[in-house]
């Protein structure tokens, strides 16, 4: 008998047997398509020797494929009601640790010290959409050396995270994330592969931390401030937006002079600037 959790038959059966009521507010949309699950695992390039952290295992459809292919899996689930269900599904699985907790509050560094034998750490998750942006920012600023992160998010968020300068999706989030990781949009996932079906499309993206930083930033805090102010009002140009930085004290002519000297047209908008141009501005202000 097929024992795959990630099918609509098995997942519905588990939910029915446990009389489980899905929580919309926890972003519970369970994946019930083996093809999509296989593609996510493929993107993680599992080699049987790594530690994989999964956020939000739900009833375990992705967890199952991860435990089959990774060295060790640590799954963090917020919903207490799912813990006994997961424990029952994986009673015979020896390379899975289930943790009840909030991924937004978890100290990943100390969690990983419990597994000193694993040199390589990956994160694979079908994220609850309501926390995806703050969680990604947390994961990327945590002092964990992820080999990669393969995550499913709302398609719109995936587009913003992977956007190139000049596109309408490119914004503050794109710059802040792409400063830390190489981003790739892998594939789109339709609502039909979930129970219940979400209202929006989803997409799987891959984030790989840069081995060598893509740009040299002298003062990160200042770099982030510059990026934030460049996008403060999307329709305004750099001359207007950057004037609000403390260094310019509202003086637009000063901004104009400063940018012209750097070889950046003050009439451009933040959404057209590359990482290199943002770092050039921040480094010159430092």
Which residues form the interface with ligand SAM (CB under 6 A)?
Answer: 26-31, 55-58, 61-62, 76-79, 82, 102-104, 126, 128, 131
Nearer to ligand SAM (CB atom), residue 80 or residue 113? 80
**In the complex, least distance from residue 100 CB atom to ligand SAM, rounded to whole angstroms:** 9
99 forms beta bridges with 76
Nearer to ligand SAM (CB atom), residue 131 or residue 163? 131
**In the complex, least distance from residue 94 CB atom to ligand SAM, rounded to whole angstroms:** 20
Which residue, among 27, 28, 25, 34, has the nearest Cα to 5 in the 3D structure? 34
CA distance 157 to 134: 12
CA distance 51 to 117: 9
Phi, psi of 63 (to 5 degrees): -55, -40
126 forms beta bridges with 152
205 forms beta bridges with 151, 185
H-type alpha helices, 45-122 = 61-69, 82-89, 108-112
Nearer to ligand SAM (CB atom), residue 126 or residue 279? 126
**In the complex, least distance from residue 133 CB atom to ligand SAM, rounded to whole angstroms:** 13
Nearer to ligand SAM (CB atom), residue 83 or residue 232? 83
**Which residues contact residue 121 at a Cβ distance below 8 angstroms, ignoring those fewer than 6 apart?**
50, 51, 52, 53, 112, 144, 145, 146, 147
Nearer to ligand SAM (CB atom), residue 115 or residue 129? 129
Which three-class secondary structure state does DSSP give residue 32? Answer: coil
Strand-strand pairing, 30-31 and 194-195: antiparallel
In the structure encoding, which two tokens stand for residue 24, read together?
A: 């919309």
**In the complex, least distance from residue 104 CB atom to ligand SAM, rounded to whole angstroms:** 5
Nearer to ligand SAM (CB atom), residue 80 or residue 92? 80
**In the complex, least distance from residue 57 CB atom to ligand SAM, rounded to whole angstroms:** 5
CA distance 132 to 95: 26
**In the complex, least distance from residue 11 CB atom to ligand SAM, rounded to whole angstroms:** 8
Nearer to ligand SAM (CB atom), residue 77 or residue 271? 77
**In the complex, least distance from residue 76 CB atom to ligand SAM, rounded to whole angstroms:** 5
Which residue number is nearest to ligand SAM in terms of Cβ? 56
**In the complex, least distance from residue 29 CB atom to ligand SAM, rounded to whole angstroms:** 5
CB 261 within 8 Å of CB 229? no
Nearer to ligand SAM (CB atom), residue 61 or residue 178? 61
Distances (CA, A) of 37 to 66, 203, 258: 9, 12, 51
Q: What does DSSP assign to residue 130? A: G
């Amino acid at each position: 008998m097929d024992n795959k959790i990630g099918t609509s038959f098995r997942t519905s059966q588990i939910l029915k047997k446990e009389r489980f009521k899905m929580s919309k507010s926890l972003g519970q949309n369970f994946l019930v398509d083996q093809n999509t699950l296989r593609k996510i695992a493929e993107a993680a390039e599992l080699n049987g020797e790594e530690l994989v952290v999964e956020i939000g295992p739900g009833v375990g459809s992705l967890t199952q494929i991860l435990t089959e292919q990774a060295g060790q899996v640590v799954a963090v689930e917020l919903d207490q009601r799912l813990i006994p269900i997961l424990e029952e599904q994986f009673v015979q699985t020896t390379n899975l640790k289930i943790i009840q907790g909030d991924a937004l509050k978890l100290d990943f560094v100390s969690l990983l010290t419990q597994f000193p034998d694993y040199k390589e750490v990956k994160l694979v998750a079908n994220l609850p959409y309501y926390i995806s942006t703050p969680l990604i920012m947390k994961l990327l600023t945590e002092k964990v050396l992820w080999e990669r992160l393969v995550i499913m998010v709302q398609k719109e968020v995936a587009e913003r995270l992977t956007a190139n300068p000049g596109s309408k999706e490119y914004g503050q989030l794109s710059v802040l994330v792409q400063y830390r990781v190489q981003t790739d949009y892998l594939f789109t996932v339709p609502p039909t592969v979930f129970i219940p079906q979400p209202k929006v499309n989803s997409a799987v993206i891959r984030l790989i931390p840069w081995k060598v930083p893509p740009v040299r930033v002298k003062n990160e805090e200042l770099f982030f401030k510059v990026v934030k102010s460049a996008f403060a009002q999307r329709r305004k140009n750099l001359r207007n937006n950057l004037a609000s930085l403390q260094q310019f004290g509202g003086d637009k002519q000063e901004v104009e002079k400063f940018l012209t000297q750097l070889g950046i047209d003050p009439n451009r908008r933040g959404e057209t600037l590359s990482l290199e141009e943002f770092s050039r501005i921040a480094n010159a202000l430092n």
